[in-house]
Amino acid sequence: MDHSLRIKFDKIDRKILEILQANAKITNAQLSKDIGLSPAPTLERVKKLEQSGIIKSYHAKLDPEKIGLGVSTFVLVSLIGHNKGNIDAFMREINIIPEVIECHHITGTGDFILKIIAKDITSYQSLMLEKVSEIKEVDSMQSMVILSTFKDSKVMPIPA
Amino acid sequence: MDHSLRIKFDKIDRKILEILQANAKITNAQLSKDIGLSPAPTLERVKKLEQSGIIKSYHAKLDPEKIGLGVSTFVLVSLIGHNKGNIDAFMREINIIPEVIECHHITGTGDFILKIIAKDITSYQSLMLEKVSEIKEVDSMQSMVILSTFKDSKVMPIPA
DNA sequence: ACTTTGCACCGTATAAAATTCTGTAAATGC
DNA sequence: GCATTTACAGAATTTTATACGGTGCAAAGT
| B60 assigned to some structural domain | no
pLDDT tens per residue, range B46-101? 999 999 999 999 999 999 999 999 999 999 999 998 889 999 999 999 999 999 99
In this prediction, residue A40 carries a pLDDT of 96
- Whether A156 is in a domain gets the answer no
Does B135 contact chain A (CB < 8 Å)?
Answer: no
Per-residue model confidence as pLDDT tens digits over A109-148: 669 999 999 999 999 999 999 999 999 999 999 999 999 9
Q: Which residues of A21-37 are buried (b: 16+ CB within 10 A; e: fewer)?
A: bebbebeeeebbeebeb
On whether both B75 and B44 belong to a single domain, the answer is no
Distance in Å, residue A154 CA to nucleotide C11 C1': 39
**Residue A84 counted as domain residue:** yes
Task: Say if CB B23 and CB A50 are below 8 A apart.
Answer: no
Q: Indicate whether B34 and B69 sit together in one domain.
A: no
Half-sphere exposure of B24 (CA within 13 A, CB side): 25
**Separation of alpha carbons A100 and A13, rounded Å:** 33
C-alpha–C-alpha distance, residues A147 and B6, integer Å: 20
- Which pLDDT score, from 0 to 100, does residue B81 have? 85
Smallest Cβ–Cβ distance between B17 and the set A67, A101, A149 belongs to A67
**Residue in A152, A144, A124, A138 with CA at minimum distance from that of residue A87:** A138
Domain that holds residue B97: 65-145
Q: Quote the CA–CA distance of B139 and B57 in Å, as a whole number.
A: 35
The alpha carbon of B18 is separated from its chain's Cα centroid by a whole number of angstroms, namely 17
Kindly state whether residues A47 and A74 are assigned to the same domain: no
Residue B150 lies in a domain: no
pLDDT of residue B5: 52
Segment 44-73 of chain A within 8 Å of chain B by CB: 52-69, 72
Q: How confident is the model at residue A74 (pLDDT cuts 50, 70, 90)?
A: very high
**What's residue B160's pLDDT?**
86
Sign of dihedral through CA atoms B37, B43, B45, B50?
A: positive
Distances (CA, A) of B116 to A103, A147, B125: 16, 19, 11
The count of domains in chain A is 2
Same domain, A75 and A138: yes
Please answer yes or no on whether B148 and A105 come within 8 Å at the CB atom: yes
Note whether A35 and A83 are same-domain residues: no
Number of CB atoms found within 10 A of residue B71's CB: 19
What is the rounded CA–CA span in Å between residue A143 and residue A100?
13
Taking Cα atoms as reference points, which of B51, B55, B61, B16 lies closest to residue B35?
B16
B47 and B84 assigned to the same domain: no
What is the tens place of the pLDDT at every residue in A89-117?
A: 999 999 999 999 999 999 976 699 999 99
Q: Which nucleotides of D are covered by protein (CB under 7 A)?
A: 7-11, 15-21
A-B C-beta contacts closer than 8 Å: 236
| B39 and B102 within one domain | no
Question: Nearest CA of chain A to the CA of B29: how many Å?
Answer: 16
Q: Residue with CA nearest C12 C1'?
A: B40
Find all residues with CB under 8 Å of A102, minimum gap 6, and list them. A113, A114, A115, B149, B151, B152, B153
Q: Please tell me which of the candidates A60, A145, A148 has its beta carbon nearest to residue B55.
A: A60
